[in-house]
Structure 1
């Protein structure tokens, strides 16, 4: 998946949680083996070359492709699992994998779980009594400072994902042209229950641009967002204020 994962796990029986953590890490490595577009022997690479079918892949491949198709439908094509005409589901795999890792740890008895995959975070439970998880959102125009702090207060699960150009440059593609998205945005942060979706929605909204992206995000249930333009204008969905901590 080409990124670093980190875990913050609270509570639970230590042995059970440690085993679940080891299983989660092993599973992330397996996901990379299956879905990497940089590995010639990955199932996705072999699928693209026509050497195997979806039915011959691990069941998770069909699951991820279905999720990608749903994201493409909901975003009216602004999210895509294709790059330069080839199948490339990496835009949805990272969020999906981090979400599943967090769920595995919570199922093992952890009372609070934070899984961070390259800056996108899935939160479950709480880090301590009367203490919600909080996630800082970097200001892309002022390195080393925060544009906002998102609080998970009152939510059993919350995810935060950001798409933009600050860390990786112009890497987001406009599915209509196949070239880098031309947009007035420098960052889009989306907040919602599941990282699988908020990660995909952040990518799609960035490609849309600030006006269309904000209107579309406002239409999605259980989703809030913060958009920052190259002109240093901050735009937010109507309900974001209740998530600022």
Structure 2
């Protein structure tokens, strides 16, 4: 990574465990390596808001609003107001994906596959993006389990080079995505094993190990990464409606597909050595 302005830079990094994953906030500051109360206050507010989101939407916590609604113990009208917003987004996502994403397929409302990206984007835009008005801040980003929403100051040429994990080799990078301002989400089996369900069949997705999507919005990137996993390696019909910037699919046999906008730019055949490369770009 490189920044345009010549003064010394230092990183401020804040990390907390929320939603069952490490969530980190990275801020590139121009000037001496001292604690910055404005930046740390923004990070604290992000974490506080994300804990509240988890209390509403966790499918694992029996006390969450969505689990209480599923058991008939809580009415939608008495739940946190954010639930109505996410329900509407999920309805729009179901229509946009032709049912590949469906928050109601279990018989109760579970917005997993959209709500994490939405929540992280919301707190980033509410608390981190305003830091871009401070000329000391060259860049700031939030990383939630590998899904990122990133911002770079208009006067900086800083580039975030986001490594995409190789789903077949722990600790290895399969490609990098250069991003100035935007979002990247990856859905796959590398960390949690098979866990993504096709709502049309109720079965785990097969044949595809990971789907990485870049978009301007983490809500969008997260949704379409999940959708790509469900659609499968051979189906890119969703690209026209996705509004993504670029992305990468990795099949179980090592084949890859890459695209820019709505246009596929590369397909690789099965390759046991699997060459690492750069995708995307200006």
TM-score, normalised by the number of residues in structure 1: 0.89
Counterpart in the other structure of 2:192: 168
Counterpart in the other structure of 1:3: 21
TM-score, normalised by the number of residues in structure 2: 0.78
**Other structure's SS at 1:143 match:** coil
Equivalent in 179, 203, 207 of residue 179 of structure 1:
203
Compare CA radii of gyration and give the structure with the larger one.
2
Q: CA–CA distance in 1 between the matches of 2:138 and 2:123?
A: 14
Counterpart in the other structure of 1:144: 171
Counterpart in the other structure of 2:4: none
Q: Map 1:48-127 onto structure 2 (within 5 A).
A: 48-103=70-125, 104-108=127-131, 109=134, 110-126=137-153
**Other structure's SS at 1:237 match:** strand
Aligned length: 240
Q: From the superposition, tell whether residues 63 and 111 of structure 1 become closer, same or farther in structure 2 (CA, over 3 Å).
A: farther
Question: Where does the alignment leave 5 or more consecutive residues of structure 2 unmatched?
Answer: 1-18, 266-277
**Preserved CA contact (<8 Å) 1:192 1:223:** yes
Bigger share in strand: 2
**Other structure's SS at 1:236 match:** strand
Out of 196-205 and 83-92, give the one that drifted further.
83-92
State the Cα distance separating 1:219 from its structure 2 match.
4.5
**Other structure's SS at 1:148 match:** strand
Bigger share in helix: 1
**Other structure's SS at 1:4 match:** strand
Coordinate RMSD, CA, aligned: 2.3
- Consecutive aligned runs of 4 or more in structure 1 exceeding 4 Å deviation: 108-111, 239-242
1:17 aligns with 2:39: yes
Q: From the superposition, tell whether residues 159 and 192 of structure 1 become closer, same or farther in structure 2 (CA, over 3 Å).
A: same
State the Cα distance separating 1:111 from its structure 2 match.
4.4
**Preserved CA contact (<8 Å) 1:149 1:244:** no
1:158 aligns with 2:165: no
State the Cα distance separating 1:211 from its structure 2 match.
1.7
State the Cα distance separating 1:48 from its structure 2 match.
1.4
State the Cα distance separating 1:84 from its structure 2 match.
2.8
State the Cα distance separating 1:75 from its structure 2 match.
0.7
State the Cα distance separating 1:203 from its structure 2 match.
0.7
Out of 233-242 and 51-60, give the one that drifted further.
233-242
